[in-house]
Amino acid sequence: MDFIMDLRNQTAIVTGAGQGMGRGIAEKLSQYGAAVVVSGRTESKVLETAQIIKSRGGKALALKADISIISDIRMMFDACEERFGAPDIFVANAGLSFSSNLLETTEEEFYKVYDINAKGTYFCLQEAGLRVKDGGRIVLISSSTTKYPKKGMSLYSSTKAAISMMAAIAAQELADRKITVNAVLPGLTETPFMKTGLPDEFKRMVADNTPSKRLGNTEDVAEAVAFLCSKESHWVNGQQILADGGCLC
């Protein structure tokens, strides 16, 4: 019996898919057969992701969109419907990484991070709730830092905690249409930001405190997301799924 997740004849929208985790998720959903709308703020990067998918025989549409702008969110769904039809899957991955001590964070920084991570995700979720097909799947990318608080992460982690709560409540509100909503909480994952924005000592500490003695990669997270996008996940709803390799830190 073949249990490979089958997303053929389905359409997915993935935000923040120009690089890193979002690109990995978009590629994975395409690998399982979905047509993917690849959304992001940098046009050249989303075009690159879409080209990778197409070069492997997949279907993709690249869209430049900023989720902090509500009209861009609506445009993203409009473009999806025009090209592929109403989405079956929506993955809210776009977000801004940020680290700053509580006593040093400025008001400008506060609004910048909340505008994308919290407000942007909220209105993406609202639009997805209106336009994803009945029986569809919505996955929000939160963070393991909501479970394991770290110094310097008060602003970032609070936006990600908000995302986790959005998923839990939306799961209840959309249940009558059999749409599941879950949050994935990645641990430290090898992305462009992680490679340049975090000290090596910290990365070694995380790896040492993970049973497999390594950091996560985009493939690890993408597989978890793909499962939550599949029909096999129909009984998983309103959950916060840690995808951190069992890290004890």
Look at residue 1 and tell me if it is in a domain. no
- Structure token pair of residue 106: 């400025």
Task: Look up 164 and say whether it is catalytic.
Answer: no
Task: Look up 142 and say whether it is catalytic.
Answer: yes
3-state SS class at 14: strand
Evaluate if residue 198 carries a pLDDT over 90: no
User: How confident is the model over 120-126, as a mean pLDDT?
Assistant: 98
Look at residue 125 and tell me if it is in a domain. yes
What average pLDDT does the structure give for the chain? 93
The CATH code of the domain that includes 70 is: 3.40.50.720
- pLDDT, residue 202, reads 73
The per-residue pLDDT for range 212-241, each reduced to its tens digit, is 888 878 999 999 999 999 999 999 999 999
CB 80 within 8 A of CB 11: yes
Look at the chain and count its residues. 249
- pLDDT, residue 239, reads 98
Look at residue 247 and tell me if it is in a domain. no
- Structure token pair of residue 206: 């995380």
Residue-range definition of the domain harbouring residue 149: 11-242
User: How confident is the model over 15-25, as a mean pLDDT?
Assistant: 97
Active-site option among 39, 142, 144, 230: 142
Q: How far apart are CA 22 and CA 44, in angstroms?
A: 15
Q: To the nearest whole percent, how much of the chain has pLDDT over 70?
A: 96
Look at residue 5 and tell me if it is in a domain. no
Evaluate if residue 196 carries a pLDDT over 90: no
3-state SS class at 140: strand
Active-site option among 30, 39, 68, 143: 143
- pLDDT, residue 1, reads 38
Look at residue 3 and tell me if it is in a domain. no
Active-site option among 28, 30, 144, 156: 156
Active-site option among 30, 32, 39, 160: 160
Q: How far apart are CA 131 and CA 111, in angstroms?
A: 28
Look at residue 138 and tell me if it is in a domain. yes
Look at residue 139 and tell me if it is in a domain. yes
Task: Look up 143 and say whether it is catalytic.
Answer: yes
Evaluate if residue 110 carries a pLDDT over 70: yes
Short-list 82, 111, 91, 81, CA closest to 39: 91
Evaluate if residue 113 carries a pLDDT over 80: yes
The helix or strand, by DSSP H or E, that contains position 81, with its residue range, turns out to be helix 70-83
Report the number of distinct structural domains present in the chain: 1
The per-residue pLDDT for range 42-94, each reduced to its tens digit, is 999 999 999 999 999 999 999 999 999 999 999 999 999 999 999 999 999 99
- pLDDT, residue 197, reads 59
Look at residue 173 and tell me if it is in a domain. yes
